[in-house]
Amino acid sequence: MESLFAHHRPGQAGCRLLAETLPTTSATIPASLRRGALPPLAEVSEPEVVRHYTLLSQQNLAVDTAFYPLGSCTMKHNPRVNEWAAALPGFADLHPHCPPPLAQGALRLMVELERMLAEITGMAACTLQPAAGAHGEFTAMAIVRAYFESRGEQRTTVLVPDSAHGTNPASARMAGFQVEEIPSTAGGTIDLAALAQRIGPDTAAMMVTNPNTLGLFEGEIDRVAALLHDHGALLYMDGANLNAILGKVRPGEIGFDLVHLNLHKTFSTPHGGGGPGSGPVAVRAALAPFLPTPRPVAGDDGVIAWAQPPHSIGRLLAAHGNFGVLVRAYSYLRALGAAGLTRVSEQAVLNANYLRVQIGDVLPLAYAAPFLHECVFTAKELKRTTGCTALDVAKGLIDQGIHPPTIYFPLIAKEALMVEPTETESRATLDAAAAAFRAVVRLAHDEPETLHTAPHTTTLAHLDDTLAARRPILVEPTATREPSPALSPPPRSLPSAGG
Ligand SMILES: *Cc1c(COP(=O)(O)O)cnc(C)c1O
């Protein structure tokens, strides 16, 4: 197949590289698959597009406009200076397939970021390739699989606590493992007796989130690790939310063999709407040969080139990771340093516990304190006495001008409201948030019907989430003089679709 560049500039190394990796021209696509006419795309002017999206953004509660305590998601303020760094032309305009001799600065950033993340996690090596947290989980499980295959061991099962994020069992399954659930104790941590009973020669690994999704530190993690290791299995940590333990605890020092991080939660990248993300995986020395290929490695002369780990699980992404997210994380880490990171976790834990104390009397905790970076309240009693659910409380908070917390997760907590204030909020904001929670609970007692129909201050009222996801009404903007339905703000209140 003739490729786009080979014809124009044959013989140049950089172009040969492009020729091998760029898609072929349309002439090589069979006629039956080619379009006969242009697609009927809407014609809209720039002002119309700008107004449309600006209007939509103004109808949202965002971290730039409101308190956004979405537990497990870490919706914190991310310093604007990191956006500036990621947008520097030398970084932003670099082609992913630029030959390494011409991209030494970017490669050095990657090597140094790998080293910093390995130090933070107490691991030997790190890959920056995975493009999200779940992608990192999958990468880790693929490494576990390759590791045991290289040793000729048949291990088919991955154990996951019932408090785990839903992506954990899904990632293990996608990597080819059977998944078995390990129950939690009444205190909300791993049931060691149940684990000891279940673990066996078929166990490849256990996936543990620590602090777990209840915001509780797994205090017996050393015994969990010993159990796994005594059976020849590996212990993996879901480190999506590292805010609680930065500079305090290193996963590699408490028995974990591999860990994934969410740069877009802990290390500064705004991540609303599903992207962009980055889920690096750090591993012990014994697992380093299995990391994804290629890895940036410095030679004796200091020049960095792409290298292939000897037993690599392969490539996970066409390029080398979400590079802009890596730049933000690097800039963030260099700005804060070790002392700054330690303060991040201290502040995150303090803020969560401050809020716990401010609202714990009107909204009880699902599990006993002490919490780390997030705390899980329950509306179980509120529902029994007023009929108002966790969902009602969440909707009521919108009327108070704050984004709802995560609700109905973790699954093991009834009527859960999972609140993560994050380290970037001031005491004044936390006090205002506490007042908002208290006002909503008061409304549940005084006027439950009003709370049932919240929110009352938004463009759209109570939506049927399921219907909205399954049968979305997508109206294409058109370039008419009359504002089209999609371009004008929706009516103030639409009848609920039911449910
Ligand atoms: C957010 C999160 C994930 C998944 O991360 P994505 O980047 O959304 O794929 C996994 N585990 C935990 C505990 C999380 O909070």
Alpha-helical regions (H) of 231-301: 263-266
Query: Which protein residue's CA is at the shortest distance from atom 14 of ligand 1?
Result: 240
pTM: predicted TM-score of the whole model, two decimal places: 0.86
Quote the pLDDT of residue 476. Answer: 60
How is residue 77 written in tokens?
Answer: 């303020």
Q: How many CB atoms lie within 10 A of CB 50?
A: 11
Quote the pLDDT of residue 26. Answer: 66
Query: Which residues are CB-contacts of 206 (< 8 A; sequence separation ≥ 6)?
Result: 158, 159, 160, 182, 195, 224, 228, 233, 234, 235, 236
Which residues lie across from 208 on neighbouring strands?
A: 237
d(CA 305, CA 324): 20
How is residue 257 written in tokens?
Answer: 């063999």
Ligand 1: which atom is nearest the Cα of residue 279? Answer: 7
Is the CB of 133 within 6 Å of ligand 1? yes
By most ligand atoms within 8 Å of CB, the mutation choice from 238, 245, 261, 316 for ligand 1 is 238
Q: Residue 129: enclosing H or E segment and its boundaries?
A: none
The dihedrals phi and psi of 452, each to the nearest 5 degrees, come to -55, -35
How is residue 53 written in tokens?
Answer: 């999206």
Query: Which residues are CB-contacts of 428 (< 8 A; sequence separation ≥ 6)?
Result: none
C-alpha angle with apex 481: 476 to 482, nearest 5 degrees?
70
Overall fold of domain 1-75+338-499: Aspartate Aminotransferase, domain 1 (3.90.1150)
Is the CB of 134 within 6 Å of ligand 1? yes
Domain residue spans in the chain? 1-75+338-499, 94-321
Is the CB of 167 within 6 Å of ligand 1? yes
Is the CB of 238 within 6 Å of ligand 1? yes
- Torsion angle of the four alpha carbons 135, 412, 66, 55, in this order, in degrees rounded to the nearest 10: 70
Q: How far apart are the first and last CA of the chain?
A: 55
Q: Residue 365: enclosing H or E segment and its boundaries?
A: none
Q: What is the mean pLDDT of each run of 10 residues along the chain (499 residues)?
A: 38 49 68 86 90 89 93 94 96 93 97 98 98 97 98 97 95 98 95 97 98 93 98 98 95 98 95 84 98 96 96 92 96 97 97 96 91 95 97 97 95 95 97 98 98 92 83 65 41 35
Distance between alpha carbon 37 and the CA centroid of its chain, in Å?
40
Alpha-helical regions (H) of 59-206: 80-87, 89-92, 104-121, 133-150, 167-174, 192-198
The CATH number, out of the four listed (3.40.640.10, 3.90.226.10, 3.40.50.20, 3.40.50.150), of the domain defined by the range 94-321: 3.40.640.10
Alpha-helical regions (H) of 231-367: 263-266, 323-359
Shared fold status for 1-75+338-499 and 94-321: no
Instruction: State how beta strands 281-283 and 258-261 pair.
Output: antiparallel
How is residue 170 written in tokens?
Answer: 């899904």
Is the CB of 403 within 6 Å of ligand 1? no
Long-range contacts, 332-341 (Cβ 8 Å, 24+)? 332/78, 332/79, 332/82, 332/267, 332/268, 333/113, 333/116, 333/267, 335/79, 335/81, 335/82, 338/247, 339/247, 341/120, 341/246, 341/247
Distances (CA, A) of 1 to 16, 24, 178: 14, 8, 42
